[in-house]
Structure 1
Amino acid sequence: MTRSRALAVLGSVIGSVLALTACGPKDSPAAPGADPDALVLRVTQGGGYTAPGADLGRLPLVSVYRDGRVITEGPVVAIYPAPAWPNVQVTRLDDDAVTDLVDAALDAGVTATGDLGSPGLADATTTTITLVTAAGTSTREVYALQEGQGDPALTADQAAARTALADLVDRLTGVQGDGESYEPSAVAALAGSYVADPDLARDPVTWPGAPLPGESVAPGIGCTVSAGAQASAVRSAAQDADGLTPWTDGSATWAVTFRPLLPDESGCADLAG
């Protein structure tokens, strides 16, 4: 690990001035004074053949934070209807492991700007890799990263660059550890019109959070955020519900998608769209 790359990790949260003057044991992701909630690395996936607004409820594939937390969505039970509350897991890495991941992102070309080509595929997903360093935030967007492997429309250089990024994503999403359930301090609720399934009737559940539907974030979809005690009440109610549960505020009935906010997020504007 070179000093410049260690400083890149450090600078992700405590600023380039401190990063450029840091030395010795402070050249680590756990430097005193660092914001533990500051984002270091993130991989998101969006687009593809989805309904309007569907990306809003998607969690990032992986988020790595300054204090070593790695937050991902865990396995989903293969039942219908699916549980209403997503299985969000948090794993903790030590300082060296976080630094190694940032080093890997730099090696994979996340800060590069070369053309990655355009695979001849329709309705594929776009993978976005975000890296935060002392130099700023680098974002690399790749259309059809997995689906486009081996596409003849790609040059050798484009294919090699994509392979390096795909390997990085595999490494990040494959981080293993003693995971535990993530407990958010705030929860976004994406509310839309409720359409009942006549074969799977559900009794309405009283909504325990901030007023629905909230601010408009997509056609027919509102977003509201519950924090503190309300967030705990929403989480508890959602864990007893499924994707077909109707939620009522006494005057209307809503279908709700739950999106726990991550440590670096504060509101509906932070959701992918």
Structure 2
Amino acid sequence: MIRRALACALAVLGSSAALAACAQGSGAPAATPADPDALVLRVTQGGGYTAPGADLGRLPLVSVYRDGRVITEGPVAAIYPGPAWPNVQVARIDADAVTDLVDAALDAGVTATGDLGSPGIADATTTTITLITADGTSTREVYGLREGQGDPALTTEQAAARTALADLVDRLTAPAAEQETEAYQPTAVAALAGSYTAEDGLERDPVSWPGAALPGESAAPGLGCTVSTGDEATAVTAAAQDADALTPWTDGGSTWAVTFRPLLPDETGCADLAG
């Protein structure tokens, strides 16, 4: 029954009979077909020893959508300076696989509310797991999920709950050799703009900014955020792929350092970025 309810909540329903059957069996909304861009499951990581505003440019570790798209950040060459454009990859899984992941999240305790303890470590990251079903949205935040493993401050129950969540994150983020991926093509791109300072010996020629005016709205101290869409998003994407992390961008007589953050299918603006 649980699996059937989840399948109804996640599937893109194509007939009035299916809509009625799911409405009777799961409590899922039956007025309209499911939105393919609706988020089902996401894992993000933030905090730790980072500069103010750094979390805004981070991509989620993984995002799973109702239509079976799984979006992750792919490997990046270990060079300095790194590429300006993040390597965002999208894979596709079928409806049964999406439901299996939801089942796994439920089994791992994403909807649980028990205390996960506080490892005695400083400047660790916080892992946030978000699950969205017809029953609503559940969010589980875990401080020091990796760093705190084996910490004596945790009870046996807390350690077990953390292990289950860590195993879930491993399953969601582990690369599948047989799974084909392709570069994610965003329809909107956020640009996080701050003051530019050249590094000695690594000077770059400035590039004229092709997108929405910088720096945009205030997102963090000393950091603005603006979103380019349509033709501007296409131009920003192309320009960023020819740049690196130290490229200076000129706009309105000012020069900016820019971090690029492609917006994901469920995101619409700067307010959706993790803070």
TM-score range, shorter chain: over 0.9
- Paired residues in the alignment total 264
- Per the alignment, residue 38 of structure 2 pairs with 38
- Per the alignment, residue 211 of structure 1 pairs with 213
- Change over 3 Å in CA distance of 1:69–1:246 after alignment to 2: same
Deviations, residues 177-212 of structure 1 (Å, cap 9, x unaligned)? 100000000000000000101211101000000000
Q: SS at the partner of 1:137?
A: strand
Q: Contact 1:121–1:148 (CA<8 Å) still a contact in 2?
A: yes
Q: CA deviation at 1:66?
A: 0.2
Q: Contact 1:89–1:182 (CA<8 Å) still a contact in 2?
A: yes
Q: CA deviation at 1:10?
A: 3.6
TM-score, with length taken from structure 2: 0.92
Identify which range, 4-13 or 245-254, moves more after superposition: 4-13
Q: CA deviation at 1:34?
A: 1.6
- Per the alignment, residue 5 of structure 2 pairs with 7
- Partner amino acid, structure 2, of 1:124: A
Unaligned runs of 5+ in 1: none
Q: SS at the partner of 1:169?
A: helix
Equivalences for 1:244-259 in 2 at 5 Å? 244-259=246-261
Q: SS at the partner of 2:77?
A: coil
- Per the alignment, residue 24 of structure 2 pairs with 21
For the residues of structure 1 that align with 2:10 and 2:111, how far apart are their CA atoms? 14
For the residues of structure 1 that align with 2:194 and 2:185, how far apart are their CA atoms? 25
- Partner amino acid, structure 2, of 1:7: A
Percent identity over paired residues: 76
Q: Contact 1:212–1:222 (CA<8 Å) still a contact in 2?
A: yes
- Per the alignment, residue 73 of structure 2 pairs with 73
- Per the alignment, residue 227 of structure 2 pairs with 225
TM-score, with length taken from structure 1: 0.92
For the residues of structure 2 that align with 1:82 and 1:17, how far apart are their CA atoms? 52
Deviations, residues 50-83 of structure 1 (Å, cap 9, x unaligned)? 0000000000000000000000000011000000
Q: CA deviation at 1:33?
A: 2.1
- Where in structure 1 do 4 or more consecutive aligned residues deviate above 4 Å? 12-19
Q: CA deviation at 1:4?
A: 2.0
Deviations, residues 193-248 of structure 1 (Å, cap 9, x unaligned)? 00101211101000000000000010000000000111010000000000000000
Q: Contact 1:9–1:40 (CA<8 Å) still a contact in 2?
A: no
Equivalences for 1:46-57 in 2 at 5 Å? 46-57=46-57
- Change over 3 Å in CA distance of 1:17–1:150 after alignment to 2: farther
For the residues of structure 2 that align with 1:96 and 1:69, how far apart are their CA atoms? 13
Q: Contact 2:89–2:184 (CA<8 Å) still a contact in 1?
A: yes
Equivalences for 1:115-154 in 2 at 5 Å? 115-154=115-154
